[in-house]
Amino acid sequence: MELNQRNELIYALQTDFDIGTFSSMLWNGLDKKLADVVPPSGLTYPQTVETAVSVAAQEGWAWSMVEQALKVNPGSPYLKAFIAKHPSFDPGKGPPAIADALMAHMLRGGRCFIDRTQLRAALKELHADERRVLVVTGERQTGKTYTRELISFFGRQNRDQRPIYIDLDRTVYEALSLTQEIGALMGMDIKTIPPQDDEQKARWAHRLSGWIIARLTNPGDVNYWFIFDGFRERTLLPDTKEFIEQLAIQAETNVPQCRVVLLNYKENLPPTISDYVGREEITTIGRDELLDFFEQLNLDHQKKYAPADLTGKVDVILKQVDDTIADKPEIKLERLRLLNKAVNETARLLFV
């Protein structure tokens, strides 16, 4: 969304709505709570609208905001004038083509997704069906779990791509309990899960994964991305490992509607698919990655700042985080969280 479009939409919504109707429009029309889009911070109504529109532009739902606003207030003169000037936002013409969400640098709620060029390329391979299984590894606190945020954002922008996220460190999963949770997330009737016959658990796990796969191929109009995270704190039971392996095998060999993403998975995958699996190692975010991130934001905002200004901001962020860790060495493993928080705050101050 161009800067002039953003400013004109902000003015239209500020003029034709009040805080009550604006908040109601977000919730009833877009299923978004105003407090989630714009965390309470004492902003005035005009500032709240400005922030909400900026978030919508960054996350790719500005067109839907215009559509819902016009439904709520069809006589809105400023909205009508906005649409007349920018016909790409005309609800009668349908939504514009979805941008490449896997290249987004601002995700839901203003979350920052910094750099990760190779990871983005690997995810695009999965989307293009060049691969169907991806293993993402890296040291602690390098940002593997942030991969989930990018895939989730991608799923919200593309209705035919549905992420299913499972944190295997939350509890010890047996193949059955894992199947039940995945099935529930997919809207399946878990009462139809096949019971264990007179068979070993590994064989049953094979059939359980087949129960999930059957849903993917019928009707088969959605690609499911199964994201398995964790593998650190809990023991991976043999039947659970068999279930995950079978899901990966089916994805890679037989089921084009299936993607499997394994975060921090250190086990060997079956030889039948090992050579075809994508692998990406995440490294620590540094100064160069932060500069690239802010340069991209600056391009989005018509080069609002000189390069030297951005360099100074990045150096301030890094010093702030390093000083915090120096004062409290015990929080060293929280560096990425602190870095993302500082980047987020700076990005909002500069560009919202």
pLDDT of residue 30: 85
The DSSP string of 83-100 is HHH-GGG-GGG-PPPPP-
Task: Quickly tell me which residue has 């499997």 as its tokens.
Answer: 260
Write down which residue in 267, 282, 297 finishes a domain.
282
Q: Is 139 part of a structural domain of the chain?
A: yes
Contact 112, 347 (CB under 8 A): yes
- 135 with 201, same domain? yes
Q: Between 157 and 43, whose confidence is greater?
A: 43
Give the mean pLDDT of 72-79. Answer: 90
Three-class DSSP labels, 111-173: CECCCCHHHHHHHHHHHCCCCCEEEEEECCCCCCCHHHHHHHHHHHHCCCEEEEEEECCCCCC
- 269 with 314, same domain? no
- 136 with 273, same domain? yes
Distances (CA, A) of 330 to 110, 145, 178, 324: 28, 21, 34, 10
Q: Between 220 and 65, whose confidence is greater?
A: 65
Q: Is 103 part of a structural domain of the chain?
A: no
**Total domain count, the chain:** 3
Distances (CA, A) of 78 to 10, 85, 92, 346, 352: 10, 11, 17, 32, 22
Which region, left, alpha or beta, applies to residue 152 given φ > 0 means left and ψ of -120 to 50 means alpha?
alpha
pLDDT above 90: percentage of residues in the chain: 57
- 248 with 189, same domain? yes
State the average pLDDT for the chain.
Answer: 89
Q: Round to the nearest angstrom and report the end-to-end CA distance of the chain.
A: 13
pLDDT of residue 352: 64
- 61 with 196, same domain? no
pLDDT of residue 191: 96
Write down which residue in 261, 282, 303 finishes a domain.
282
Give the mean pLDDT of 278-298. Answer: 89
Write down which residue in 93, 127, 147 finishes a domain.
93
Helix (H) or strand (E) holding 249: helix 238-253
Q: Is 220 part of a structural domain of the chain?
A: yes
pLDDT of residue 274: 95
- 227 with 294, same domain? no
pTM: 0.73
Burial of 13 (0-12, 13-18, 19+ CB in 10 A): buried
- 168 with 55, same domain? no
Q: Is 230 part of a structural domain of the chain?
A: yes
pLDDT of residue 110: 66
Q: pLDDT digits over 78-119, tens only?
A: 999 999 998 888 888 776 655 578 888 877 766 788 888 889
Is pLDDT above 70 for 66? yes
- 243 with 136, same domain? yes
Instruction: Name 112's bridge partners.
Output: 106
Say how far apart CA 258 and CA 261 lie, in whole Å: 10
Q: Is 106 part of a structural domain of the chain?
A: no
pLDDT of residue 36: 85
Q: Is 334 part of a structural domain of the chain?
A: yes
Sheet holding 161-167, edge to edge: 161-167, 223-229, 258-263, 133-138, 278-282
Q: pLDDT digits over 135-151, tens only?
A: 999 887 777 778 898 99
Say how far apart CA 343 and CA 135 lie, in whole Å: 27
Q: Is 98 part of a structural domain of the chain?
A: no
Is pLDDT above 80 for 6? yes
- 291 with 254, same domain? no
Q: Between 215 and 301, whose confidence is greater?
A: 215
- At 262, is the pLDDT very low, low, confident or very high (cuts 50, 70, 90)? very high
Q: pLDDT digits over 13-35, tens only?
A: 999 999 999 999 999 888 888 98
- At 333, is the pLDDT very low, low, confident or very high (cuts 50, 70, 90)? confident
**Of 96, 108, 231, 104, whose CA–CA distance to 173 is shortest?**
231
pLDDT of residue 203: 95
- 205 with 296, same domain? no
- At 348, is the pLDDT very low, low, confident or very high (cuts 50, 70, 90)? confident
**φ, ψ for residue 26, nearest 5 deg:** -65, -45
pLDDT of residue 18: 92
Say how far apart CA 256 and CA 318 lie, in whole Å: 43
Is pLDDT above 90 for 245? yes
- 143 with 203, same domain? yes
pLDDT of residue 95: 64
Give the mean pLDDT of 37-56. Answer: 87
User: What does the DSSP 8-state code read for residue 262?
Assistant: E
Q: Is 74 part of a structural domain of the chain?
A: yes
**Of 282, 342, 285, 248, whose CA–CA distance to 145 is shortest?**
282
pLDDT of residue 187: 93
pLDDT of residue 41: 76
Q: pLDDT digits over 120-140, tens only?
A: 999 999 999 999 999 999 887
Domain that holds residue 15: 3-93
Task: Indicate which CATH number applies to the domain containing 172.
Answer: 3.40.50.300
Contact 227, 167 (CB under 8 A): no
- At 325, is the pLDDT very low, low, confident or very high (cuts 50, 70, 90)? very high
Is pLDDT above 70 for 156? yes
- At 198, is the pLDDT very low, low, confident or very high (cuts 50, 70, 90)? very high
- 130 with 25, same domain? no
